[in-house]
Amino acid sequence: MSDLAHVVGDTTTPLLNETIGQNFDRAIARHGDREALVVPFQGIRLTYRELDVQVERVARALIALGLKKGDRVGMWSPNCAEWVYVQYATAKTGVILVNINPAYRTEELRYALAQSGCRALISATTFKNSDYQAMVAEVSGGLAQLEHVLFLGTPAWDAFLATSDTVSPAALASREATLDRLDPINIQYTSGTTGFPKGATLSHANILNNGFFCGEGFRYSERDRVCIPVPFYHCFGMVIGNLACTTHGAAIVLPSPTFEAQATLKALQDERCTCVLGVPTMFITMLGLPDFSSYDLSSLRTGMMAGSPCPVEVMKQVIDKMHASEVTIGYGMTETSPVSTQTAPDDPLEKRVGSVGRVHPHVQVKVIDPVAGATLPRGASGELCTKGYSVMLGYWNDAQKTAQAIDAEGWMHTGDLATIDAEGYVNIVGRIKDMIIRGGENVYPREIEEFLYGHPDIVDVQVFGVPDLRYGEELMAWVKMRPGAQPLTADTLKSYCTGRIAHYKIPRYVHLTDEFPMTVTGKIQKFKMREMAIEQLGLQAAAAAKTA
């Protein structure tokens, strides 16, 4: 074994050398009478053969609309059955699916549609308090390339579906024959903390294989039933969710348009789900429901917690209280389709709850010195880089940003700080930009958060740096308390920490909160917390101070 932090994934199981459509056709041939899609809130329950009818209908209608291979169509909607139809229909026609975040407002919508050059948009009519029709009307006038807008559940959508009769199954088969597994098929906009989002462009080979190997990691078979409360517009929903299912003949179960804890638990119970996907905040919310224990979750076997760092204590509760004895942790990013590492059900418990697992098949990961670029020894902290089939084709129409992210040797630079131990397990210790430097000491928020999760009255916690004239940065903790607990103060938190962690790791500031600012996918936005804290604490002078 090398002493360097560079590991290569197993290649025993070959990559799927086919398009998403070809793989989907194989699933239908093999699992036609098994349930494929269950959407209780829409009253939909389809077998693989019935799902195929819906997918082919949308695919032929896309061809009737005049969309060619390589054209872009936007999808702007919370989770629903139609999202699944469109995902597989675009894959069968070679039309590039552009995922648009349901939380976007007009300027973000305008940017995504214009930057990707969408010829068509498929959209919900409303979402929460957003009037999608009004927003589309506001932006569409300035988008010359946008020729078609189709709102789900309207007469225009029905008319669109009816046009499928004008395109023969043979014409669709002819289109499919022109497709290649390396063709771009999906654009996902990464939610940048600064500047405009970047459109990660993914091929059939990227996301089909990643979904397949995630399913292998879950040990899926056609008997599995997978509850997907995470959004489809993100890789978590459409790759780790849908593609992992259809590559194994498993059933997709959608509990609600967006995450609702009660709806998810009810779907797990009523549909006898064997797997559930979620970000840590989703699991924390479900476990915290007053009637949590009334749900029968005995069918649960596995799942994945991913999207942001997974607290060890929460992971243990998911195993113990939700019966998900084989639950895994996954790590990755949109640009890597998304998963690069995953824990396994037979990993030792401390590795299953305290690491993000080992490298995925056909993928390489290494830890480098962020400045010098040299590969570091095992156990040393540095930037995690990943390489293999899963690395995106690039950022759509942005060669400069692509070159900044993917080096000349094909390594994707993640921006995450990590270690790789002697056995190849990867541990994420933070984001390069999240690392706090207090008086010359490097402080990793993740380490302090894990420690504070051990406090009996803390339900959730986020630690980040705020500007300080003396130390450069000081630590602040935003804390969610257990209902009925005594409120925590900076002094009581300091007493809890003193003698147990180094003095420079003890948060100076404490803020009690009921919620954290986060993206729709559950990624905590620490930069927003920092901005709010600067205002609350009156740290504008320290924030404005120039540093070398």
Give me the percent of the chain exceeding a pLDDT of 90.
82
pLDDT at 58 over 70: yes
Distance CA 170, CA 157 (A): 23
pLDDT at 192 over 60: no
At a CB cut-off of 8 Å and minimum separation 6, what does 156 contact? 150
Average pLDDT of the residues in 305-311 = 80
Q: What is the DSSP string of 266-311?
A: HHHHHTT-SEEEE-HHHHHHHHT-TTGGGS--TT--EEEE-SS---
Least confident of 57-61, 193-197, 302-306: 193-197
Residue owning tokens 């078979």: 221
Q: Two tokens at 157?
A: 């959508």
Q: What ranges in 65-219 are assigned the alpha helix state H? A: 81-93, 106-116, 132-140, 155-162, 169-176, 204-218
Q: How confident is the model at residue 59, as a pLDDT?
A: 99
Least confident of 108-112, 125-129, 133-137, 440-444: 440-444
Q: Two tokens at 153?
A: 């559940």
Distance CA 530, CA 382 (A): 24
pLDDT at 548 over 50: no
Strand partners, 418: 382, 428
Q: How confident is the model at residue 193, as a pLDDT?
A: 41
Q: What's the one-letter identity of residue 140?
A: S
Average pLDDT of the residues in 492-498 = 93
Average pLDDT of the residues in 92-112 = 93
Ordered domains of the chain (ranges, CATH): 13-419 (3.40.50.12780), 436-544 (3.30.300.30)
DSSP code at position 2: -
DSSP three-state, residue 329:
strand
Please state the three-class secondary structure of 348-365 as a single string: CHHHHHHCCCEECCCEEE
Strands 198-203 and 184-190: antiparallel
> Who wins on pLDDT, 316 or 294?
294
pLDDT grade, residue 430 (50/70/90)? confident
Q: What's the one-letter identity of residue 195?
A: G
Q: How confident is the model at residue 194, as a pLDDT?
A: 44
- pTM attached to this predicted model: 0.87
Q: How confident is the model at residue 545, as a pLDDT?
A: 74
Least confident of 179-188, 233-242, 498-507: 498-507
Average pLDDT of the residues in 93-98 = 98
Q: How confident is the model at residue 546, as a pLDDT?
A: 53
Q: Two tokens at 200?
A: 């990660």
Q: How confident is the model at residue 547, as a pLDDT?
A: 43
Average pLDDT of the residues in 422-437 = 87
Distances (CA, A) of 494 to 290, 313, 334, 510, 534: 30, 21, 38, 10, 21
pLDDT grade, residue 521 (50/70/90)? low
Q: How confident is the model at residue 355, as a pLDDT?
A: 92
Asked if residue 364 lies in contact with residue 336, where contact means CB atoms within 8 angstroms, the answer is: no
pLDDT grade, residue 499 (50/70/90)? confident
Residues 27-49 pLDDT 10s: 999 999 999 999 999 999 999 99
Asked if residue 395 lies in contact with residue 200, where contact means CB atoms within 8 angstroms, the answer is: yes
User: What is the chain's mean pLDDT, rounded?
Assistant: 94
In terms of phi and psi (left: phi > 0; alpha: psi -120 to 50; beta: otherwise), the region of 313 is: alpha
Least confident of 180-194, 323-337, 464-478: 180-194
Average pLDDT of the residues in 9-24 = 98
pLDDT grade, residue 520 (50/70/90)? low
